[in-house]
Amino acid sequence: QSALTQPASVSGSPGQSITISCTGTSSDVGAYDYVSWYQQHPGKAPKLLIFDVTTRPSGVSDRFSGSKSGNTASLTISGLRTEDEADYYCSSFTTSTTWVFGGGTGLTVL
């Protein structure tokens, strides 16, 4: 149950787009289309942004989008805003009937 691999940090300027990668294996990310993404502000609970690789829950901005190719999933945030500054985590269901999170990526909006 090794954590999925995410970059420790990314940054961008307001209005720009950034992409966060999430690399797993054929036993998790590559096995199912059950990748989700969460946003977490300091001291707060995580918030679901994307589920089933590409689907946004009701109420989540369409500036957030997800994709997957092979064992790597990605989260793209377009039109960056200062309030997007947070930690982002990917998660995947696995062939062991467990869930695994990525190590998290801190986004800085410069």
Binding interface with other proteins (CB under 8 A): 1, 3, 32, 34, 36, 38, 40, 44-48, 51-52, 57, 87, 89, 91, 93, 97-104
CB of 98 to other proteins, least distance (A): 6
Q: Which is nearer to other proteins, 80 or 105 (CB)?
A: 105
> How far, in Å, CA of 90 to CA of 41, rounded?
15
Nearer to other proteins, 16 or 95 (CB): 95
* DSSP designation for 51: B
C-alpha–C-alpha distance, residues 19 and 10, integer Å: 8
Closest C-alpha among 8, 7, 9 to residue 73: 7
**Residue labelled with tokens 């947070």:** 86
**Minimum CB separation from other proteins for residue 82, in Å?**
23
Give the shortest CB-90-to-other proteins separation in angstroms.
10
Q: State which residue, 82 or 97, has the beta carbon closest to other proteins.
A: 97
Considering the complex, state which of residue 23 and residue 38 has its C-beta at the smaller distance from other proteins: 38
CA 74 to each of CA 4, 42, 96: distance values in angstroms, whole numbers, following the listed order? 12, 22, 23
